[in-house]
Amino acid sequence: MAIHKRYALGRGLDALISTEDVRPQGSSTINEIPLEQIEANPNQPRREFDEESLQELATSIREIGIIQPITLRQVADQRYQIIAGERRWRASQLAGLTAIPAYIRTIKDENVMEMALVENIQREDLNAIEIALAYEHLLANTGMTQEKVSERVGKSRTAIANYLRLLKLPAQVQMALQNKEIDMGHARALLSIDSPSLQIKLFKEIQRNNYSVRKVEELVKQLKNGEEITSGKKRISGASQMPEEFTALRQRLSDFFSTKVQMTCSAKGKGKISIPFANEEELEHIMSVLDKMKE
């Protein structure tokens, strides 16, 4: 089925579909939905929620916001039912929020939507989150593999994987990307940080200082090395990016070589050590220390 009429873009994937049979009543992108318009799924197998755990999550939400959007389906005009994320919904109520970021799933005719997505996904004026959600939809609802999607839309598997990774970013970062307040370069730099709370802290600094992508990449590198960065009056520490024992080891090496040793390390213990030097004298000192170790 061909798409005959070109619709205005930027209003979600539902604005891209022009068929007589399918007229989705919502959006396939991320939106802020009032909590009062959301209801729990009566078929949800989970019936009990630990109150202490909910309070802890509510405290986290008050401090840094919702990390991952919930997923809803539209069941009536301005009424939505939870597909995934009831715990986040309940904790948001405890936190005093009035609205919550959510993905809306309202597609009924999967075959028509697949055809529309494949045709429209290549349009340059779709935002990155719309594209990411379109890829996710194709993978989750059509049985297509990343390789098959790659063939259908004419994009590399790497490009598709990079878009899908955007959906792992905190909700407020996704919304900023959707609204083009940041670009893909900023988002990809943030993705290399494992901690969502650290991602949000750096994201707020990007907004506050209008940092370039290159500047963010430099800051991310510092944080991953376990260093502390200063932005205005704020200090952000990346020490939590490394296990405590590796942070101590980095300090021992720095003391041993009398220079600031840099180290990156994942929770699984994989990483690298680098020993920077500012001039030839510092290099000679480092080499002399290494030579003594051979003796």
Name residue 234's beta-bridge partners: 231
* C-alpha to C-alpha distance for 234 and 206, rounded to whole angstroms: 13
User: Which run of H or E residues covers position 76?
Assistant: strand 70-76
DSSP-assigned letter for residue 36: G
User: Cα-atom radius of gyration of the chain, to the nearest Å?
Assistant: 24
Q: Give the integer Cα–Cα distance in Å for 134 and 194.
A: 25
What residues does 101 pair with on adjacent strands? 32
Question: Cα(first)–Cα(last) distance of the chain, in Å?
Answer: 77
> CB–CB of 130/178 below 8 Å?
yes
Listed residue (110, 114, 44) closest to 72, CA to CA: 44
165 CB-near residues (< 8 Å, 6+ apart): 188, 191
Helix/strand/coil for 45: coil
- Residue 9 CA to residue 6 CA, distance in Å, equals 9
For this structure, is 124 an active site residue?
no
Token representation of residue 23: 């007229």
Angstrom distance (rounded) from CA 193 to CA 232: 21
* 39, 86, 217, 227: the active-site residue: 86
Question: In DSSP terms, which residues pair with 237 in a beta bridge?
Answer: 228
Computed from CA positions of residues 190, 191, 192, 198, in that sequence, does the dihedral angle turn out positive or negative? positive
**Residues involved in catalysis:** 86
